[in-house]
Every structure is written in structure tokens, then in C-alpha cells.
Amino acid sequence: MKRVSLALCSLVAALTVPAYAADPPRAPAPRAAAAASAPGAGSAQPAPSARPGPEQPLVAEVLILHATNEQKGIDPRIGKLPELAKPPFSNYDSYQVVDRARLPLKKDAPQNQKLPNGRTLQVRLLDELGPDSVRLSASINRPSGKEFLPLLEVKAHVGQAFIVAGQSHKKGILVLVIRVMK
Amino acid sequence: MSTSRERRMRLMRYHDGELSDADARLVEAALEQDPAQLEELDAYGDLGSFVRAWDESNQSKVVSFDIADSVLSALEPPRARVHSLLPRIATWVSLGAAIAAGSVLVVRSWSAPPVTPGAIRSGEHAALSGTGSASPSASAPELAAVLGAAALVEEEPQPPPPPATIESVDFGSNTGEVFVLSTDSSETPVVWMPDDGEPDEDNEDRSESL
């Protein structure tokens, strides 16, 4: 009878012990790891849940594209950017990466980026609305100092982008994809 | 009318010398007429000798002596030894329970959802601690429910943040428009500013220098 009691106790223990107790500790969630390791380098839409460390500075990633109808296709370096398949961007069949820059976003420290047409894109951090949310401004100035786009204020979360497009350049237009990143 | 039992008892009492003279003469008369009774009387003598001899040899060993038991044990064949089935059943039950317990552990370790300690957020920790799942005395259905809830919480996609919004735009002397491009994964605000056709003062190609 002692053996029966022992066996029944072991059966009850097997039914009540949680299954995760037998599982070895596993690696962190792959979703967060993937999002942290690929901050939009090739993808235009990183996961919105990407939560990098608090020490990482905010940057504005500027992707300068040249849109033409030269039947060259879409530069694979652009990555996933489904907006290019929608009008008015779908009016151009070729998109090439002209330049890419990461501009640190700091208050009272506007960052300038030279554009292929000689104009200058200026980006400035206006406010940090939260750990992943900012308000920033962008402007485009002509070489003469005259303003082409005097002011644009955008509120965006980390990973979100906005597009400024339409400037003529070499039988096409320039498309500026500006994304807030950490 | 004397029965055979009475006759046998009287014969035994005659053998032991317990009859009166009158009764003893009647028994002797019967013995002369019936040789079978004489043989029976001789047998009583042998039995008495055997009992006395056995009593003398086992007097120091046996405190109580039951003649009936001795006779029965001498006459009856030895009984077959009967083994109880209970220990055998207990062995099989214990073996089966042990195998079932091992099987349950193996199956649960295979089928359990991967719960990563790092993936559980503070709110989920609070929910889990509220149900007392850490208690080893919790029942299996409770633990299964908690584990399932944790897996569901882990698999639930976080609500996407609101899309980027253009709060203000100043086109200056130029014209332009603002719209939102909706895709399957995002909504992207777009500022579309076509050139006015007037070239910049030094609108030369600088793409090579970049």
C-alpha cells in the first residue's frame, strides 16, 4: 500500500506541477529582438512596438530618393516602402537611393542635410512628447537663402515617417522620406 | 436399547476400569459373543498407549493439547497455500500510476506554450500574481488557465500608435498639398510640393558631389 500511495502522490504532483517549470529559460522575445536589431535600415516600416533603450538618442533618418520614369525599377536598398506603389508615387516607375543620412535630433540644435538639387533640408527637434513620441520641424531652403518650404511641423512616434516630395531634379523629382528613429 | 455410541462409550469405560461390577460382567458377556467388540477393545488399548506416549514426549512443549486438532491434522491432507492477490494488484497499480505520471510530465513539457520570463510585462506579472499561479498548491486547471491567459496576452498585438500627423505647414510663396497615404501597415503623411518651374539661382547638378 505504501507503493500505491507513493505512485498516486507522484501522479498528483505531475498533474499539478506547472509545465513551464520543466522548460529551460529561453531567449528574449524574438519580436523585440528583431525590432531592436533592424531599426529600419532596409525596412520602411519597423515594428511600432520597438522600444530601444532610453539612452539611445533620437535621430531623423532621411532617405533621399530620385523618382524617374527611366524604367530602372525600384532600388532594393529602399527596402519595403509600400507608399511608392500608390499614387502619386506610382506615376514614376524608377526609384533610386541618392543619399541616406541620420541627423541627431536635439533641441535648439537644427541639423542640416544637403540635397542633390543644392537645397538644404533642415530638421529640428521641437519637443519630446513621450519616450517614443516627438514633435519636430523641417524646412527646405534654396542656396540663395530663400525658403522653398519655410516650415513643416510634424508629430511622430519612433518608427513613423513622413514624406516630402515634388522637387524637380534630373528629369524626375526628389522624394524625401524622413523617419524618427532611436 | 443401546445404541452403538452407548456401546462404544461403555466399552471405553470398561477399558479404563470405570464400570461397576455388574456392568463389567455385561460387557464381558458381550465380548464373548461378539469378537468385533473384542478387537475394538484391543484398539482402544493401542490408542491409549499411543496417547500416553505422545503426551509424555510433548508434555514439556505443548501447554494445551487438542486431540481433535491433532487427529484432523493427521487425517486431512495439507491445504494448498493461498497467496493474496492484493500485493500483486498494488504493484501493478503503482507501476501504472508511475508511468502515467511520467507521461503527463513529458506531454506537458512538450505542449506547454513558451512563456519567457523577460516577455512578461509588469501588468502581466500583476495579473499572474493576482491569480496565485506561483503557489505550488494551485490546481492543474487553474495553472492551465493562467498559462493560457499569459500566452494570449503575449500573442496579442499591441495597438499601433496613432500615425504621424502634420501639425502645420507653411508653403511660403509656393503651392503644395498635404495628404495621407494609407497602406496595409501604416498611414504616412505626405507633403507634395512641385517646383514652381523657376530654377534656383545656382541650380546646378550637385548629385555627383554628394
Q: What is the DSSP code string of B85-152?
A: SHHHHHHHHHHHHHHHHHHHHHHHHHHS----GGG--HHHHHHHHHTTTT-TTS-HHHHHHHHHHHHH
Domain annotation covers residue A77: yes
Does A176 contact chain B (CB < 8 Å)? no
Strand duo A173-181 + A59-68: pairing: antiparallel
Of B158, B190, B200, nearest to A49 by CB-CB distance is: B158
In a domain, A167, yes or no: yes
Classify residue A1: in a domain, yes or no.
no
Per-residue confidence band for B117, with pLDDT thresholds at 50, 70 and 90: very low
Instruction: List the single residue in B with minimal CA-CA distance to A81.
Output: B183
A149 belongs to a structural domain: yes
Most confidently predicted of A38-42, A99-103, A126-130, B155-159 = A99-103
Give B183 or B129, the one with higher predicted confidence: B183
Query: A140 has which bridge partners?
Result: A121, A149
- Residues of the domain holding A139: 31-181
Of A3, A23, A82, the CB nearest to B184: A82
Q: Which long-range contacts (CB under 8 A, 24 or more apart) does B99-108 make?
A: B100/A11, B100/A14, B101/A7, B101/A10, B101/A11, B101/A13, B101/A14, B102/A14, B104/A11, B104/A14, B104/A15, B105/A14, B105/A17, B105/A22, B108/A14, B108/A19, B108/A22
Decide if A121 is inside a domain: yes
Contact at CB, A148 and B174, closer than 8 angstroms: yes
Residue A8, in any domain of the structure: no
B163 pLDDT higher than 60 = yes
Q: Average the pLDDT over each of B16-30, B106-120, B147-161, B183-197 and give the range with the smallest value.
A: B106-120
Mutation site for B-interface testing, chosen from A9, A16, A113 by largest number of B Cβ within 10 Å? A16
Contact residues, A window 136-175, toward B, CB-based 8 Å cutoff: 142-144, 147-157, 160-170, 173
User: Looking at the 3D structure of chain A, how many domains does it have?
Assistant: 1
Q: Across the interface, do B164 and A149 touch by the CB < 8 Å criterion? A: no
Is residue A66 a contact partner of residue A95, using CB atoms and an 8 Å limit? yes
Domain range list for chain B: 4-75, 115-156
Nearest CA in chain A to B185: A45
Residues B164, A155: C-beta atoms closer than 8 Å: yes
pLDDT category, B78, cuts 50, 70, 90? Answer: low
Cα separation, B185 vs B199, in Å, equals: 37
Mean pLDDT of A153-170: 94
Instruction: Identify the burial level of B153 via C-beta atoms within 10 angstroms of its C-beta, where 0-12 means exposed, 13-18 middle and 19 or more buried.
Output: middle
